[in-house]
Amino acid sequence: MEKSSDAAQARDAASLPEAGRGTGAAMHALCTELFPLLRSITGKGVRDTLAGIGRHIPLTMTEVPSGTAVFDWTVPPEWTVREAWIKDPAGDRIVDVARHTLHLVNYSAPFKGRLPLSELRKRLFSLPDRPGWIPYRTQYFKEDWGFCLSHNQLQSLREGEYEVCVDTTLAPGSLTFGECVLPGRSSEEVLISAHVCHPSLANDNLSGIAVATFLAKALAAVDRRFTYRFVFAPSTIGVITWLAQREAMTARIRHGLVLSGVGDPGAYNYKRSRRGNAEIDDIMSHVLKESGLQHNINPFIPYGYDERQYCSPGFDLPVGCFSRSTYGSYPQYHTSADNLELVRPECLEQSLDLVLQAFSIVERDLRLRNLNPKCEPQLGRRGLYSLVGGHNESQKLQLAMLWVLNKSDGQHTLLDIAQESGLSFDLISSASNALSQAELVTATVG
């Protein structure tokens, strides 16, 4: 029962979307600050990224030692990069990870030596159909090394002997994840997750980080019904590690969202949770529909981002994935063209606005029970008719009260009532607050 404080809380949560206005440039600046860092699934790049996020929101870092068993996986060795480059036969450094983080195949094992171009070529990766772009490659699970470069550069290489330096270490250390927990009146939690393991890729990685960070800032400033937990973790192994470390608390998760690829100008995509009909699925569908923006609502598939782990059958959490262009669907994906020009301030801001609208509903959505369910109660006697002055807005509010009274059977959420009535969620929420204050309805538990 949260009746007494609902009204005050609802006013605050209703104002959430205002907090996103004018934040596009600041979110883009955060992407710009974090862009050059050489991130991977472990190591300094992740820690420096978390430190950057921690300058905006309170963040706790957890280090999980290499070798720790996490379900069917093991926390890998920590990767450290000092330098990595190739010198051509003339002694010129033609490829250097210091120039672009994508040049080094991520997680490359150490190597130093000289080899002819014919041998070196086997370790060089390019994109023949996008000859100006550098691809992003990883090799987490075998000890090997390689470099990525533009196809134009690859084709320009002359025969001869090349010198290669991959001064890296793969050694026992730890995997790092960050959490920002914003306590609410309830210990039930809302999970927001963004991956932090991609090096200089802006949309796939940094856009989700920026929107999650500014979402946390906005939520930190309002009175919260739910406890919010933001997880910034390396993709796959990082989230598997997080789930292994936090398994006990996952039972408290009521809603969740993976944020990724939210900064490009593409149409929106929402991927439903494995459950398919979780409240967050309804809320995201509603917000996107009401926005009038181009979007797709997609069913769950066991491929994509970290919803794969959250929605594995042993957890089956109510977690969906919110994106603009989805993984693999745009040419710049996993290349050097996923850069700070692809991600635009106004696109970040629009994504944040939609997510704020969604959490504004998450905070206020309730199931109510009508305390006077036999025939309509007398609204006038309770001062509720004074709200109804005859002009248009008041008439709408009266209609909304009638809808709320009729559907408050403990089964329908306020969002259900908004959708069925065709009235806005804000209006239905205002009506429910007025009825709650008049003690005509009360929130059901759960």
Integer Cα distance of 404 and 413 in angstroms: 10
Nearest-approach distance from CB 103 to Zn ion, in angstroms: 17
- What residue number has its CB nearest to Zn ion? 204
Q: Smaller CB distance to Zn ion: residue 204 or 281?
A: 204
Closest to Zn ion by CB, 204 vs 264, is 204
Greatest Cα pair distance, the chain, in angstroms, is 94
In the complex with Zn ion, which residue's Cβ is closer, 201 or 287? 201
Cα dihedral across residues 187, 357, 352, 204: positive or negative: positive
State the minimum distance, in angstroms, from the CB of residue 116 to Zn ion: 33
CB-wise, 35 or 385, nearer to Zn ion? 35
Least distance in angstroms from the C-beta of 204 to Zn ion:
4
Residues near Zn ion (CB under 5 A), total? 1
Taking the least distance from each CB to Zn ion, the nearer of 79 and 136 is 136
> b/e per residue, 90-119, with b = 16+ CB within 10 A?
eeeebbbbeebbbbbbbbbbbbeeebeeee
Q: Where are the beta strands (DSSP E) in 128-248?
A: 147-148, 161-171, 174-182, 189-195, 227-233
Residues near 243 by beta carbon (within 8 Å), at least 6 away in sequence: 70, 71, 250, 309, 310, 315
Q: Point out which span in 85-93, 197-205, 266-274, 310-318 binds Zn ion (CB under 5 A).
A: 197-205
Exposure string of 21-47, with b = 16+ CB inside 10 Å and e = fewer, is eebbebbbebbeebbebbbbbbbbbbb
Residue 260 or 432: which CB sits closer to Zn ion?
260
CB of 235 to Zn ion, least distance (A): 7
Pairing of strands 93-96, 111-116: unpaired
Taking the complex as a whole, the smallest distance from the CB of residue 172 to Zn ion amounts, in Å, to 26
Residues listed for the chain: 446
Phi, psi of 442 (to 5 degrees): -140, 150
Residue closer to Zn ion, measured from CB, 335 or 360: 335
For residue 365, state whether it binds Zn ion (rule: CB under 5 A). Answer: no
* Per-residue contact string for residues 198-227; x = within reach of Zn ion by CB under 5 A: ------x-----------------------
Q: Which DSSP state fits 102?
A: G
Q: How far is the CB of 323 from Zn ion (least distance, A)?
A: 11
Instruction: Report the SS3 class of residue 441.
Output: strand
Least Å from the CB of residue 275 to Zn ion? 25
Interface ranges with Zn ion (CB under 5 A): 204
